[in-house]
Copies of this chain bind each other. A is one copy, B any other.
Amino acid sequence: MSVLPTDSLSTPRFVGLPSFMRLPMATELQGLDAAIVGLPSDSGAPFRTGARFAPNALRAMSVMLRPINPYRGHINIFEVLRVADAGDATCVPGYEIESLAALERALDAVVEAGAVPFGIGGDHSVSLAGLRAVAKRHGPLSLVHFDSHTDTWDSYFDGKRYSAGTMFRRAIEEGIVDPARSIQVGMRGSLFQPADVSQSVDLGLEVITCDEMFALGLPETARRIAARSAGHPAFLSFDLDFVDPAYAPGVETPECGGPTARETLSLLRSLEGLDLVGCDVVELNPSYDGPGQITALLGATVMAELLAILAEARVRERSR
């Protein structure tokens, strides 16, 4: 199996089924450093639905990306890492709990093969499947969470405990996220209850709201994230509604007044020293994304930045 993506200077990007960044489709997982895995479940979505179509929408725009990341020393991601697109996990539409279990099984296989899973959601509840799979190997994880919402409510409609608004409380309860090593960044907007943000602090998480992030400045925010996570295996979860809806209209729960794409990418590009053992980019909903599909492109760009974080870490490890 080749490990290099199709060269877009030789073959036009519109040629062929669009795998993530035109990577080869995985025929087996052994030997991979990282695997792209679609997590096309939206049964956890409380309002807009349709994130089940997100993995392929993100892939379709990812063909515009190129292998070299100039923000981390012109690293060529795919010369450092063996990455493949492992296709999609399956799910059970309309059955949230069974869906999470099905996603977890697929992610288990990735983790067991020694690859870092790069999940493409799906609604945000899919992170619980990712955390469960990764924690089996690495123990309680440092959660690095970008979002406009905390997603630490206790339950949602009809008292249901599994949804896109509750999974990080569940993860802490399950002992797979270590709140003392975890941080949430970007919270903003109107609240259901006064405790919507403080409930995360009560759980032991560090929270940097959107206003606090701008007050601190992006470099200091990056530094705090790194400090919180330092030395622990980290799971980074990126909800696209972290970004302002102008840059990410195609999400399930947009929240006005967020950072720009440039600010967002700048923050990610300045993250140093993360020990990334799993991650996901979630809440893309292509039905709401307009013909330019800019949310999908931004989601793919974020994913490529996360790959660069891993690649840089591997270079660093190898040079020791």
Interchain CB contact under 8 A, B256 and A17: no
Interchain CB contact under 8 A, A158 and B98: yes
Interface residue A246 (Cβ < 8 Å from any Cβ of B)? yes
Q: Identify which of A84-92, A172-180, A229-237, A271-279 touches chain B.
A: A84-92
A12 proximity list for chain B (CB < 8 A): 40, 46-47, 52, 90-91, 93, 157
Interchain CB contact under 8 A, A46 and B291: no
Closest to A61 in B: B254
A98 proximity list for chain B (CB < 8 A): 158, 160
Copies of this chain in the oligomer: 6
Interchain CB contact under 8 A, B256 and A261: yes
CB-CB contacts below 8 Å: A92-115 with B: 92-96, 98-99, 102
For chain A, give the interface size range: 35 or more
CB-CB contacts below 8 Å: A230-268 with B: 244-247, 249-251, 253-262, 264-266
Interchain CB contact under 8 A, A191 and B92: no
Interchain CB contact under 8 A, B66 and A190: yes
Closest to A53 in B: B14
A293 proximity list for chain B (CB < 8 A): 288
Bitwise, A285-297 to B at CB < 8 A (1) or not (0) is 0011111111001
State the CA gap A151–B69 with chains docked (Å): 18
State the CA gap A162–B304 with chains docked (Å): 30
Closest to A69 in B: B190
Contact residue among B87, B196, B304 (Cβ-Cβ distance under 8 Å from A17): B87
State the CA gap A158–B95 with chains docked (Å): 10
CB-CB contacts below 8 Å: A3-18 with B: 7-18
A142 proximity list for chain B (CB < 8 A): none
Contact residue among B10, B163, B257 (Cβ-Cβ distance under 8 Å from A301): B257
Interchain CB contact under 8 A, A47 and B17: no
State the CA gap A302–B254 with chains docked (Å): 14
Interchain CB contact under 8 A, A94 and B92: no
6 CB-based A-B contacts, threshold 8 Å: A94-B99, A210-B262, A246-B294, A247-B256, A257-B266, A288-B293
